[in-house]
C-alpha cells in the first residue's frame, strides 16, 4: 500500500482530531482555516487511507477498577514463524493485554497488561501466559506511577 500524501493542512487536521475527536466538522474546519466541505473531504480521505484508524474514548483505568499496570518481557524458546504466530494469537485473545510488541534485545515480546490487583495478574500469568506453548521465560515489572501517558503523536 503506498504511503498517503500528507500535507501541512492534513497535519493540522490530525493534530486537532488527536486532541479532541469530538469536534464538529465546522469547528475543525475553523481551526485549520478551511471551509467545512474541503475539511470533511480531507478527513474522509485520511480515514480511507488508514491514517485515521478510528475514534475512541480514553477511559481512566483506575476508575474502572484496573489500577495495576504490568510490563511483561516474554522470551520464547525459539523465534520461528509458527511459534511467533502461536504466541501472538494467544495474546490477541486476552483482553487484559493492552499492548504487545515484538522486540529486539533480550526479550522477544514486551506486553503491557492491566489488572484489578496482584491476584488478578497472578491468575492471568499462571492460567494463560505460562500456558502458551513455546514460552521460555517471563519477567514482570509493576508500574508504580504513570509519569507520562500520551495518545497524540507529535505532529
Structural domain of residue 15, as residue ranges? 8-48
pLDDT tens for 70-129 read: 999 999 999 999 999 999 999 999 999 999 999 999 999 999 999 999 999 999 999 999
Do 36 and 85 share a structural domain? no
Residue 35 included in any domain: yes
Residue 29 included in any domain: yes
Write the CATH number for 132: 3.30.70.920
Do 136 and 84 share a structural domain? yes
> Number of folded domains in the chain?
2
Q: Are 109 and 94 in contact (CB under 8 A)?
A: no
CA distance 43 to 31: 14
pLDDT tens for 66-85 read: 999 999 999 999 999 999 99
**10 Å Cβ neighbour count for 115?**
21
Amino acid at each position: 500500500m503506498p504511503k498517503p500524501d500528507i500535507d501541512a493542512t492534513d497535519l493540522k487536521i490530525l493534530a486537532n482530531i488527536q486532541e479532541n475527536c469530538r469536534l464538529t466538522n465546522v469547528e475543525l474546519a475553523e481551526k485549520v482555516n478551511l471551509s467545512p466541505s474541503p475539511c470533511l473531504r480531507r478527513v474522509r480521505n485520511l480515514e480511507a487511507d488508514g491514517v485515521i484508524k478510528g475514534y475512541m474514548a480514553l477511559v481512566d483505568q483506575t476508575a474502572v477498577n484496573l489500577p495495576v499496570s504490568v510490563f511483561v518481557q516474554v522470551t520464547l524458546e525459539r523465534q520461528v514463524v509458527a511459534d511467533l504466530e502461536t504466541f501472538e494469537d494467544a495474546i490477541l485473545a486476552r483482553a487484559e493485554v493492552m499492548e504487545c510488541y515484538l522486540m529486539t534485545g533480550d526479550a522477544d515480546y514486551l506486553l503491557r497488561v492491566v489488572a484489578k490487583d496482584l491476584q488478578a495478574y497472578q491468575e492471568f500469568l499462571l492460567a494463560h501466559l505460562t500456558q502458551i506453548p513455546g514460552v521460555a521465560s517471563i519477567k514482570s515489572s509493576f508500574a508504580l506511577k504513570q509519569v507520562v501517558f500520551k495518545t497524540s503523536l507529535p505532529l
